[in-house]
Amino acid sequence: MGAYCDENLSFSPACNLSPSHDLRLSKHVHDNVHGNIYLDPLSLKFIDTEQFQRLRELKQLGLAHLVYPGAVHSRFEHSLGVYWLAGEAIQKLKTYQGLELGIDRFDVQAVKVAGLLHDVGHGPFSHLFEREFLPKVLNSFKWAHEQMSADLIDHIVDVHHIDVESEMIKRVKEMILASSEFALPKSAKEKQFLYDIVANGRNGIDVDKFDYIVRDSRACGLGCSFDFHRLMETMRVLGDEICYRAKDYLSIHKLFATRADLYRTVYTHSKVKAVELMVVDALLKANSYLEISSSIQDPSEYWKLDDTIIKTIETAPDEELRESRDLILRIRRRNLYQFCNEYSVPKDQLEHFKDVTAQDIACSQKNGVLLQENDIAVSNVRIDLTRGKQNPLERYHELFMLNLKRQIFS
C-alpha cells in the first residue's frame, strides 16, 4: 500500500536495497531492463523539469524504429538506466573499498547525477543531428552533445532554483565531459576512477554501454550474450583505475563484440541509413526557414528541439517547407533512397584508404545512364571495438597485470 503526501510517494518493496537508498525520501519507476529504479530527492529535482522530460521525445536509436519496429525506447529510460547502474557501481566500490578509496556521500551523489544527466544535451534522431546534420550547416565549427549537456545542467539549476552545491555541479559536468574527446580535468588528480564509471575515456568500459547494449538488443529483438552483472560485482580499483579479473576477459570481449554487432545489424543497417540520409536532406532544406541550427548555442531554446521536428515539417502548410515535406512523405510511403552497393575495405588497406565521395562514384561510371553527383549519397562507416585501431582488450591486459602485481607483492 502506498502512502501519499504533498511531495513524496513512499513504498515498502520486498527487495533489499543498498544503504544509500532511503525509501522515505525516494520514488521508484519500474524499468523493463533493471526492474525497480529508485530515484533519490536530488535526482528527482532534475527529472521533474521540462528540460529532462524532453528526453521522452528523443528515441534512443533515432530512426531505427522504421526498420526495427520495437526500437521506440527513448533517451529518458536510457538515462534512468545509466543513473541506476552508476549508483550501483559506486556502491559496490564503496562496499568493498570505501575506506581505502575515501569514497563519501558526495562522490556517490555526483556519480549518480552524472549518469542521470549525461545525455540531457542530446540532439534529435540519436547521433544523426550531431554527426550528419550540423557538420553540413556549421562548416568547421565543432559541436558536441556532451558540452550541451553541461550547459543545460547550469540552465536547469538556474531556472528551477535547484538547491545543490556548486562543487557538485562542477564535478557532475566534469564526469560527463570525461570521455575520449575531452581531457580529464586537473581537479581529477585524485579519485580518477570516479570519472570512468559513466563515460570511460581510458578503456571504454562504462555503465553507459552496459545499459544501451542490453536495452538496444532487447528492443530490436536481438539476442544479447553480454551480462554486465558479473563485471559490476567483481570490479575493483587499483592504481586509481577500475580493474577486472582475468577470468572476466570473455565478458569484456562480449561487451565490445556485441556493440560492434549492433552497429552492423542495427545502427548502420542499409535501410536505416537510407532513412537517415533522407531526414538529413529534409532538415537541411528546412533549416533556413525553421532556423533549426540557430538554437544550438542557447540552452534556453535548444531544449525545445526534439524528434517532433519531423511532424512539424510534415504538417506545416508553408511553401518554404514543400521540398522537406515531400521527403518526409516519401519516408512515410517507403519510397526510400535506393541502396546500390557496399564495399568492405580490407583490413590491411584501412590505413591508406580515404573516404569515398559522391564525386568519386560519379566519375567512376563508364557507360549507360549516368548519375550526377547530386544523385548520389555515400555513407562511410567505420565499425571497431571503440578504441579505433587499438584493441581495447590490450588495455584490459594491462589492468590485469596491475592486479596481478598487487596480489603478489601485497
Question: Where in the chain are the domains?
Answer: 42-270
Q: Of 139, 155, 150, nearest to 176 (Cα)?
A: 150
- What three-state secondary structure class fits 305? coil
Taking only the tens place, the pLDDT of each residue in 298-330 is 999 999 999 999 999 999 999 999 999 999 999
What Å distances lie between residue 106 and 42, 60, 112, CA to CA?
Answer: 12, 30, 10
- Residue 37 three-state SS: strand
- Among 151-155, 184-188, 262-266, the minimum mean pLDDT is found in 184-188
Please report, for residues 352, 376, 378, 381, the alpha-carbon distance to residue 362 in angstroms, rounded to integers and kept in the order given: 22, 8, 11, 19
How many Å apart are CA 147 and CA 150, to the nearest integer?
5
Q: Give the CA distances from residue 224 to residues 5, 88, 255, 313, 385, in Å, rounded to whole numbers and listed in that order.
A: 41, 21, 10, 37, 16
pLDDT, tens only, 87-144: 999 999 999 999 999 999 999 999 999 999 999 999 999 999 999 999 999 886 789 9
- Helix, strand, or coil here: 39? strand
Is the pLDDT assigned to residue 38 strictly greater than 60? yes
Given a cut of 70, whether residue 407 has pLDDT beyond it is no
d(CA 308, CA 361): 34
Evaluate if residue 157 carries a pLDDT over 50: yes
Q: What is the DSSP letter of 131?
A: I
**Residue 386, Ramachandran bin (φ over 0: left; ψ between -120 and 50: alpha; else beta):** left
- What percent of the chain has a predicted confidence (pLDDT) above 70? 83
- Over residues 219-238, the pLDDT tens digits come to 999 988 899 999 999 999 99
| Residue 363 CB contacts under 8 Å (≥ 6 apart), including other chains | none
73 is catalytic: no
| Cα gap 249→257, rounded to integer Å | 12
Question: What is the model's pLDDT at position 410?
Answer: 34
d(CA 183, CA 241) in angstroms, rounded, equals 16
**Residue 343's pLDDT band (boundaries 50, 70, 90)?**
confident
Q: How far is CA 344 from CA 159, 161, 348, in A?
A: 50, 53, 12
Mean pLDDT of 332-360: 80
Q: What's residue 384's pLDDT?
A: 66
* CATH, domain range 42-270: 1.10.3210.10
The 10 Å CB-count burial string (b at 16+, else e) for 330-353 is: ebeeeebbeeeeeeeeeeeeeeee
Q: Which of 73, 145, 155, 269 is catalytic?
A: 145
CA 236 to chain centre: 24
**pLDDT reported for residue 16:** 41
| Helix and strand counts by DSSP (H, E) for the chain | 17, 6
